[in-house]
Amino acid sequence: MLPAAFYLAGLGLAMPQGFAGAMSPFPGRAGAASSLIGFTQQTSAAALGAAVGHMLGQTAWPLVIAIAAMGCLTLVIWLVSRGIRAPRKGIEIWEEQIGFHDLDNNRLDFGMR
C-alpha cells in the first residue's frame, strides 16, 4: 500500500502542471480544454475502476496491472505526440498568430502593397 501512496502523492503533485501544459497551446479555449481533460480523466477512471473492481478477488494484482498499464499507455501517448508538442521559435509563432508573413521573400508582410 505504501508504494501506491507514494505514486498517488507524486501524481497529485505532477497532475496540475500536466493540465496546465496541456491547456497552454489553447489559451483562447482553456475552459473547453479543461472540460475535455476532466471528462476524459473521469470517464477513463470510471471505466477502469469498474473493470478492476469486477476482477478483484483475493489478490490486488488487477489493481497493480491496471496502474502499470495506464502508466505504459501514458508513455506511449507521450512518445507518439512529441512531434506535435515540439516547441517552435517565437517569431514563427508570432507570425503565424498575426498572419503577416511573406514566405517567398522571407520577410514580414503587413499588407501595405
pLDDT mean over 15-21: 84
| Structure-model confidence comparison of residues 66 and 103, the more confident one | 66
> pTM here?
0.55
Q: How confident is the model at residue 48 (pLDDT cuts 50, 70, 90)?
A: very high
**Distances 97 to 37, 44, 59, 106, 113 between C-alpha atoms, Å:** 25, 34, 54, 16, 21
pLDDT tens per residue across span 22-45:
777 777 888 888 888 889 989 999
pLDDT mean over 54-69: 89
Distance, CA of 73 to CA of 84 (rounded, Å)? 17
Question: If we measure between CA atoms, which residue out of 33, 15, 22 comes closest to residue 85?
Answer: 22
5 pLDDT higher than 60: yes
63 Cβ partners below 8 Å, 6+ apart? 4, 52, 56
